[in-house]
Amino acid sequence: MIYFLLPKPSTVASMPLTRSLSVTSLSGLEDWDEEFDVEDAVLFEIAWEVANKVGGIYTVIQTKARLTSEEWGENYFLVGPYMESNVRTQVELIEPTNPALRRTIDKMNSSGCKVYFGRWLIEGSPYVVLIDVGFTAWSLDRWKSELWENCGIGVPWFDREANDAVLFGFLTAWLLGEYAAQCEEPPHILAHFHEWLAGLGLVLCRQRRLPVATIFTTHATLLGRYLCAGNVDFYNNLSNFNVDKEAGDRQIYHRYCLERAAARCAHAFTTVSQITAIEAEHLLKRKPDVVTPNGLNVKKFSAMHEFQNLHAQSKARIQEFIRGHFYGHLDFNLDKCVFLFIAGRYEFSNKGADIFLEALARLNYLLRVNHSEVTVIAFFIMPARTNNFNVETLKGQAVRKQLWFETTVQHHPQGFLEGLWDTAQTVKEKFGKKLYESLLTGHLPDVSKMLDKEDFTMMKRAIFATQRQCQPPICTHNMLEDSSDPILNCLRRIGLFNSSSDRVKVIFHPEFLSSTSPLLPMDYEEFVRGCHLGVFPSYYEPWGYTPAECTVMGIPSVSTNLSGFGCFMEEHIADPSAYGIYILDRRYRSVDESCNQLTSFLFQFCQQSRRQRIIQRNRTERLSDLLDWRYLGRYYVSARHMALAKAFPDTYFYEPQEPTSKQGFRYPRPASVPPSPALSRHSSPHHSEAEDEDEERYDEDLEAEKDRLNIRQPFSLQIRNKTSLPYVAPTSNGNSTPSSTASPPSSVTSPPSSISSEKN
């Protein structure tokens, strides 16, 4: 196979690894007035994860669809691959409502394609165009030859994922070109492509000079993910990598070429965080025009205590699982347990599972030497190859259920608790009868005489029947590669085996959670609500949806200054830890220093009282407005405006304006006592009359009101028939100032001259 090197651009100037304050500044959001006519424009959003859950991009598109549908209405179409199993449960197939799109689909279907149209059954119910890439596989060799001849990119036959990208790219370019041809009037088409799997369609649109404004969003660079998985000092050597050689050494050069070509050809290039913008500038050789942070659809509760009640309910369900998992070794107080968890793709180093395990070993030592009554139970929710549930784990849940429910002995597979329920019922009846007779005589019962020697003997026999000779299992499933599994090997090395002397227990659940599971019947959201702290010490995390989901559910989390979420929160919160957002330094510290810092975070969290955790959860939940798509969606709006102005300069106008100095948005430190063990010693959220009058009190309502003043209510898009787009460019020092109608979408912006100079 012959590979063709893309022309090497001029060397990118070295960029310091420092954050810009206004990279996603939220100052002036209330005054940013969107004025844009989308009646004559059509938006196609193209991604491999449309109605096809693979990773985090699915969450981005799914949660953003409602807001985008409100903005674009009938002119918004999502384009993805046709996967029959997903379509059956997620998509309602219908006839196209747009006449030009109907003619386009009919023409493609009559030419040997299979294209489907429907509504995706999610919030917003957006239209979807689904293309069966396998049905046109007969064209693969011809299209790969065309790709080589026109773009100089060769794709090897053995890379199935890249072959799918070629098919999907040519079909989406065909769809957009055919739609432009079927429109009665010259259309204003905007196509937004996500990730390299969809990027070839963008390259072909530009190569064929189609009348399409293009946006390319990279959620994580291919080469960055591979390099970080190889344990290199990635962020301190960004400017030193020979990207062509590194991609070739890892046999992903053809994929890298597709990604880099899409980034270079797009009218507007965006990425999800400032840390990824720096990475993209060095690896893809183009500085992103706009940073578009990922958001969520935030559902606010009418009363503060509602989400706290949900936490208590979900925690009780987790406790039930713990009772079964640790039966026979339940020698710790469940009311003094702290539940930690890490979840996501099984990337041992990239996701920080390695440093989390090492920190747990050090935390276990600290809790033991300080004689702490707290027990930490850490869950690892990372899918791996398994063949079934662990028998010992299932046995524990069966024991718990038989103790709790009135089941018969025959229902237990091994007759493990024969007569146990009958024993409990017998003792209960005898105790109740003696208590009843004593009260009838008008005397308090003598407890020592309520149960006789025979009763105690019967109960002891029942207790002995529940004992187990082995330790509670670490893994809930039978692993196919037990001897080489990174998490299990690390647990063996650090010696965390769920023994009675350990104050830190570990449960590895190598499967995504499901409410239909016979083991832990909870969906992911319910499980997160029941935990106390999410721990995500990632080394490579372009954004980080897991800590963001924790935040909107009011659950504190640990993130890093190498994740997009961590940088975003550091930028907008003066004291993140006071709001339950712990930022671990993995950029400027060694691995051992970062591990010590994480251990310190976890130990301090374990020292908090119940009241302190309640206060912290209240504060964490109030940050959810920062992550609402109704705030963050406008950065996508800005990228679309920029692309349309570049592609159709005669119709759309996007004018940068000189800013004046103004500080960006930041949450202040909490006004009342922070939830730290040193300053807050109350056991409940309410104050008693005996409290020290000199100690500053915590007023939840007052503090919440002060926070509400710092972030305004989410906006509603108002589309007007105007095409002039006032825009404020950020200053070089990172500060920004909105005009009366604008606010900066990002500090990572193209030069003003590029807006009108680049055309189709």
On the question of pLDDT at 411 being above 50, the answer is: no
What value does the mean pLDDT take over residues 509-527? 93
- Check if the beta carbon of residue 52 is closer than 8 Å to that of residue 58: yes
Domain boundary among 291, 323, 347: 291
Residues 204 and 244 occupy one common structural domain: yes
Residue 19 lies in a domain: no
On the question of pLDDT at 13 being above 80, the answer is: no
At residue 408, the pLDDT reads 36
How remote is the C-alpha of 505 from its chain's centroid? 25
At residue 708, the pLDDT reads 59
What value does the mean pLDDT take over residues 201-222? 96
How many alpha carbons lie under 13 Å from residue 329 in its C-beta half-sphere? 19
Domain boundary among 627, 658, 692: 627
Residue 161 lies in a domain: yes
- Check if the beta carbon of residue 598 is closer than 8 Å to that of residue 539: no
Q: Closest by alpha carbon to 214, among 453, 46, 404?
A: 46
Q: Closest by alpha carbon to 264, among 224, 296, 232, 216?
A: 216
pLDDT per position as a tens digit, 561-600 = 999 999 999 988 888 999 999 999 999 999 999 999 999 9
Residue 666 lies in a domain: no
Domain count within the chain: 3
- Three-state SS annotation for 231-272: CCCCCCCHHHCCHHHHHHHCCCHHHHHHHHHHHHHCCEEEEC
What contacts 210, CB < 8 A, 6 or more positions away? 173, 176, 177, 180, 189, 760
Residues of the chain with pLDDT > 90, as a percent, come to 61
At residue 654, the pLDDT reads 76
- Check if the beta carbon of residue 87 is closer than 8 Å to that of residue 56: no
At residue 17, the pLDDT reads 36
C-alpha 41/C-alpha 179 separation (Å) is 13
Residues 503 and 449 occupy one common structural domain: no
Residues 113 and 182 occupy one common structural domain: yes
Structure tokens at 549: 């989901």
Q: What is the CATH number of the domain that holds 491?
A: 3.40.50.2000
Least confident of 110-124, 428-442, 680-694: 680-694
What value does the mean pLDDT take over residues 251-263? 97
On the question of pLDDT at 523 being above 60, the answer is: yes
C-alpha 46/C-alpha 25 separation (Å) is 27
Residues 47 and 151 occupy one common structural domain: yes
pLDDT band at 141 (very low <50, low <70, confident <90, very high): very high
On the question of pLDDT at 28 being above 80, the answer is: no
Residues 383 and 411 occupy one common structural domain: no
493 burial via Cβ count (<10 Å: 0-12, 13-18, 19+): exposed
The domain in which residue 459 lies consists of 397-464
Residue 709 lies in a domain: no
C-alpha 556/C-alpha 344 separation (Å) is 17
Residues 425 and 562 occupy one common structural domain: no
Q: Which has more confidence, 127 or 751?
A: 127
At residue 449, the pLDDT reads 72
On the question of pLDDT at 451 being above 70, the answer is: yes
C-alpha 336/C-alpha 376 separation (Å) is 9
Residue 179 lies in a domain: yes
Q: Which has more confidence, 611 or 302?
A: 611
On the question of pLDDT at 437 being above 80, the answer is: no
Domain boundary among 413, 431, 464: 464
Residue 687 lies in a domain: no
At residue 234, the pLDDT reads 92
What value does the mean pLDDT take over residues 81-106? 95
Least confident of 38-42, 186-190, 610-614: 38-42
Residues 477 and 578 occupy one common structural domain: yes
At residue 29, the pLDDT reads 39
At residue 738, the pLDDT reads 36
On the question of pLDDT at 16 being above 60, the answer is: no
Structure tokens at 673: 């006592």
Residues 487 and 454 occupy one common structural domain: no
Residues 78 and 212 occupy one common structural domain: yes
At residue 698, the pLDDT reads 59
Residue 33 lies in a domain: no
On the question of pLDDT at 664 being above 60, the answer is: no
- Check if the beta carbon of residue 457 is closer than 8 Å to that of residue 451: no
pLDDT band at 752 (very low <50, low <70, confident <90, very high): very low
Mean pLDDT, the chain, rounded, equals: 81
C-alpha 233/C-alpha 471 separation (Å) is 39
Residues 384 and 257 occupy one common structural domain: no
What value does the mean pLDDT take over residues 494-501? 94
Q: Which has more confidence, 621 or 704?
A: 621
Q: Which has more confidence, 435 or 554?
A: 554
On the question of pLDDT at 725 being above 60, the answer is: no
pLDDT per position as a tens digit, 612-622 = 999 999 999 98
Residues 287 and 315 occupy one common structural domain: no
pLDDT band at 675 (very low <50, low <70, confident <90, very high): low
Residues of the chain with pLDDT > 70, as a percent, come to 76
DSSP state of 626: G
pLDDT band at 703 (very low <50, low <70, confident <90, very high): low
What value does the mean pLDDT take over residues 388-414? 63
pLDDT band at 452 (very low <50, low <70, confident <90, very high): confident
Residues 597 and 548 occupy one common structural domain: yes
Residue 46 lies in a domain: yes
